[in-house]
A and B are shown apart, each in its own frame.
Chain A
């Protein structure tokens, strides 16, 4: 089954404690991205990657890092989480970026206290 898998689904952490949210896709997609969703602000892109070792900033990259060492994985790293990063995070992948459908993960609800 084609899918994008995020882990964990829920996470509560403390300010400053480094964390990683993993994202994996099984469709051999080249394009992957991370979004965060906040009430009243909708979904906003954090980072995206057009292929292995190619990443770039989205609209709200501050406080986040990503890496793309393998085609299937695109982890989101918060080196020093802060309460304003409390949000619902989604990973997405697609084969072409705009010509085909994007598949989204189920989301990771992060709370930073």
Chain B
């Protein structure tokens, strides 16, 4: 399974952009990069995913390095509601456990008022 590495924690101020990095140096050509977040006392919530090109949606942007060995989740204007644990995941691409989401420790994002 391709593994990901994220910082344990990051802090931001409200209304400022946040860049959450993820390293996945063993990524294969068919691995998608998914981001999820988990707010306190809730189930994980999908944020965004991509393969090669940068992606945008209403929640965030995903910037993928040209060699795909790293990616960055960008929250353009952090709010207090964005305080959560953010997970960078490469779902299993095939064989057994197809589609499995392997959650690491993630990055705890703290947003200050």
- A interface residues with partner B (beta carbon < 8 Å): 4, 31, 33, 35, 42-45, 48, 50, 56, 58, 90, 92, 94, 96-99, 101-107
Contact = CB atoms under 8 A, between A and B. Distances in A.
Contact of B99 (A35, A98, A104): A98
Contact-residue bracket for chain B: 20 to 34
Given A42-B105, A58-B97, A98 B92 contact: yes
A101 B46 CA distance: 6
Interface of B: 32, 34, 36, 42-46, 49, 91-93, 96-106
A48 to B, nearest CB: 7
A42 B99 contact: no
B100 A104 contact: no
Given A90-B43, A105-B43, A106-B42, A43 B103 contact: yes
Given A90-B44, A105-B43, A56 B99 contact: no
